[in-house]
Chains A and B, each alone.
Chain A
């Protein structure tokens, strides 16, 4: 425009100069004659913009009118794309959080979990306090490292009844590393946990409320926890949890404990974590720690033998096991595949739809629409589909994530420090892919229309437009969809089976019937084996007397879901060193434990009243232990020692063999853990898990349980009362969550496949409707047409099912590999999946076929 105006002014100037004006005057005159140059340019520009807007609006309306003209195809396209986008964004967000960092701490991806490298069994030992102190002193890779381990406190501030609360022992910097701000107070103070300084504690809101009636002046007050006085330094919200589960208080114990510890031993029980310095890689940090570990090994060869490699992993991996991570990665890939599949689906649908509408486009061109306008209309239609799908997809994702968060919040099993939110890049990827698929699919027909020779087309008909048929593509994709939906269904059924049978088939008892709580004897209370054994029996009797309680038993330290790790010395085996002792699972239980839990005795006998505190020590082993140490011989009468308890020197005689139980939580792998069971009254132990077998809802027995204990001894508090099923749920929370994710994924994918199959079939049939009508016109009857369509559909479905069978079997093998205990071959899944997919395919053929059969031949052929 500028050039044009400049040319005009030059010409006018030239003319004025010819009339005798000076060049300056001529120019001025030209400008005056022209009027406002700027206004003229503006007016032209306005016209241009207005024109563009009008054009766009026209194309837009046209596009939407077209969407409305083919409602079923439009709905199918929009719905499946929206579902795929929603599924992708939701799953990607949830999984991304689980795989990376879902913890509500500042920059959670900087937090790492430090442990010794995995030993044989895949179990990563934590760090001993002494080693922690050295690492903390010498390391340079983290801004700081902190340590935490589980503990307990007893509080009786109200003076009514002693309450036990779950607590943690922590290093004095534990909140600083997490960058957590308390509700009240400011956290541990300088010098708090050193000798000579104060012992300090952080409480959560619940303790603050229950024990101190929300006293606003609580900070700085001293509380007595059963053995020591602590100064309250801060109150944190109830939702604050970290690593040690539903803990309600945190005692600042490090470095005071380290100062008092000799360097010749150390139990690796401290969970150690740190915040990596910006710019430092994990490899650098590992090298840093390895160097420190090497010097520790040299200094303290006895306790650090074999420990020279450390593992530094993102903190979130502490919650999600490798097994689960692999599954989640698999799921993430599957979700991406589904999204791409849905995009291809839409692409084929749109392409075939555009191909069917080529006459319409030709007609529009003939009526004066420019090729550009027709091109624009096709693109805008696709953009409309992409746009609508995006909005619906976004809503699905938002609700999906809200649903996932709701489930997590309402699950007692879920570590509440893990939260999810919508991952924006996942959403953007979903939206862009969706719109690209939709627009991209229309591009080919649109380009065709652009270069369409209308005269030739109108003269020669459809045949003149080559390579427009998408028949092969549609057939191929029908087959793929059928196969995919079959495989997904098989996977879903297997997951459903896992989900339903999670606790059921491994336990001889129903965990839903049991209530459990912890109880602790102080070293001063009942200091002899005899006294303590008698007191324990008294407590159990008092609990059995609660109306509705069928039985009661105790197990040392360990809940029903998990035995603790213990070594054993087998008589007759020579060990070079302590580290040669086999590491097993073990329990110390009261006499009735096996009866109450319905555990099957396979050989010998259970504990009897004749096994007393001063009789020969007895032990019962499980089948896995018998098979491992005494294969092909009777184990009764064999002897073992437990090198870790106070009677380490006394041999215990094996009196019975019982069935294997999942002593390390619900098993995912087909490995039975060797375990041995000692008798409670022959050992002097402090922390007991009291288990009640109840009639009806176990949770209602919590208060009666407290009262029953108070009757025997008011100083013994019960803590952490919870239904046993929670422990199993906690154990299996990852599995429960992943199976649910898989189920949701399966359901949505199956639905998408159904929509896809229907859409593809209907597009396949509608592409051939002209052919059917010509056959009709040539004398075929409705029956022939039905038969023809049904045959074509059946062939495609059969081929799809064949591929489906193969891929379904692949899914079965894959899941069997991951969950060998839960997945067993069943023809039932395959038959059910087969009949479901076949029915769907039949429905998908039926409706388009009916449309074809009932089509008005004259209309179809005329419109062609």
Chain B
């Protein structure tokens, strides 16, 4: 996995999780795979840190969970966004956009 980015900025993981859950509910493994898939395997989440982040988000009221059946008919815990989570995602995306633009500008012109 050399050359792949796996040191996410603090807070970024939570943003990614929220975004992954924006359109459909997923289980932990699903979230992981979705992030890897979209980032073309560039972002590899440290699996051990995914679950504490999910718990944090849940306790914060940003996501909620319910048990359901997975694609291979196994019992799995599915996470989905709450209203508060949707709001937070919106804010965080805006903040992240501003931040990324600012960093891009500095890298380009400084």
Tell whether, in the assembled complex, residue B59 and residue A4 are in contact, meaning their CB atoms are under 8 Å apart.
Answer: no
Assembled-state Cα–Cα distance A36/B29 (Å):
16
Query: In the assembly, what is the distance between CA of A5 and CA of B77, in Å?
Result: 10
Contact of A8 among B47, B56, B72, B75 (CB under 8 A): B47
CB distance from A45 to the nearest CB of B (A): 9
CA distance A39 to B70 in the complex (A): 26
A275-295: CB near B (< 8 Å → 1, else 0) gives 000000000000000000000
Contact status B51-A40, CB under 8 Å: yes
Question: Is residue B108 contacting chain A, with contact meaning CB distance below 8 A?
Answer: no
In the assembly, what is the distance between CA of A765 and CA of B70, in Å?
A: 60
**A35 partner, pick from B48, B61, B74, beta carbons under 8 A:** B48
B residues near A39, Cβ cutoff 8 Å = 48
User: B12-60: which have CB < 8 Å to A?
Assistant: 27-29, 46-49, 51-52, 55-56, 59
Q: Given A7-B70, A47-B56, are A34 and B76 also a contact pair (CB < 8 Å)?
A: no
* Complex contact B55–A40 (CB within 8 A): no
Q: How far is the CA of A113 from the CA of B20 in the complex (A)?
A: 84
A33 an interface residue at 8 Å Cβ cutoff? yes
**Does more than half of chain A's interface fall in helix, strand or loop, or is it mixed?**
helix
Interface string of A23-34 (1 = CB under 8 A from B): 000000000011
User: Are A33 and B52 closer than 8 Å at their CB atoms?
Assistant: no
Interface status of A864 (Cβ within 8 A of chain B): no
Complex interface bits, A1-27 against B, C-beta within 8 A gives 1, otherwise 0: 101110110111010000000000000
Residues of B near A7 (CB, < 8 A) are: 27-29, 70, 74-77
> Which residues of B have CB within 8 Å of A33?
47
Report the bound CA distance from A51 to B75 in whole Å: 27
CB distance from B55 to the nearest CB of A (A): 5
Residues of B within 8 A of A3 (CB): 75, 77
Residue in A11, A34, A48 whose beta carbon sits within 8 Å of that of B48 in the complex: A34
Tell me whether B52 and A43 are in contact (CB under 8 A): yes
A11 & B55 in contact (Cβ 8 Å cutoff) = no
Q: With the chains together, A34 CA to B47 CA distance in Å? A: 5
Q: Mark interface residues in A734-772 (1 if CB within 8 Å of B CB, else 0).
A: 000000000000000000000000000000000000000
Which residues on A sit within 8 Å (CB–CB) of B29? 7-8, 11-12
A326 to chain B, nearest CB (A): 61
Residues in A whose Cβ lies below 8 Å from that of B47? 8, 12, 33-35
List chain A residues, Cβ under 8 A from B52: 40, 43-44, 47
Q: How many positions in chain A have a CB within 8 Å of any CB in the partner chain?
A: 23
From B28, B46, B59, B72, A51 is in contact (CB under 8 Å) with B59
Bound-state Cα–Cα, A76 to B38, Å: 64
A826 and B8 CA atoms in complex are apart in Å by 90
Write the B58-80 contact mask toward A (1 if CB under 8 angstroms, else 0).
01010000000010101111000
Q: Is the CB of B46 within 8 A of A4?
A: no
Q: State A36–B48 Cα separation when bound (angstroms).
A: 7
How far, in Å, is B71 (CB) from chain A's closest CB? 10
Q: Please report the C-alpha to C-alpha distance between residue A10 and residue B70 in the assembled complex, in whole angstroms.
A: 12
The verdict on A35 contacting B46 (CB below 8 Å), with A8-B29, A43-B52 known, is yes
Contact, CB under 8 Å: A44 / B59: no
A7-B70, A48-B59 in contact; A40/B48 too (CB < 8 A)? yes
Interface centre among B48, B56, B61, B72, by most chain A C-beta atoms within 10 angstroms, is B48
Interface core residue of A3, A7, A10 (most chain B CB under 10 Å): A7
With A and B bound together, what is the CA distance between A40 and B52 in angstroms? 7
- B28 surroundings in chain A (CB, below 8 A): 4, 7-8
Shortest A856–chain B CB gap in Å is 38
A 42-81 contacts with B by CB, 8 A: 43-44, 47-48, 51
User: For the complex, what is the distance from the CA of A370 to the CA of B61, rounded to whole Å?
Assistant: 10
Bound CA–CA A36/B27 (angstroms): 20
Residues of B contacting A1 in the complex (Cβ-Cβ under 8 angstroms): 51
A-B contacts, 6 of them at CB < 8 A, read A4-B77, A7-B75, A8-B29, A12-B47, A34-B47, A34-B48
The 6 A-B residue pairs with the shortest CB-CB distance in the complex, in nearest-first order: A35-B48, A11-B29, A40-B48, A43-B52, A34-B47, A51-B59
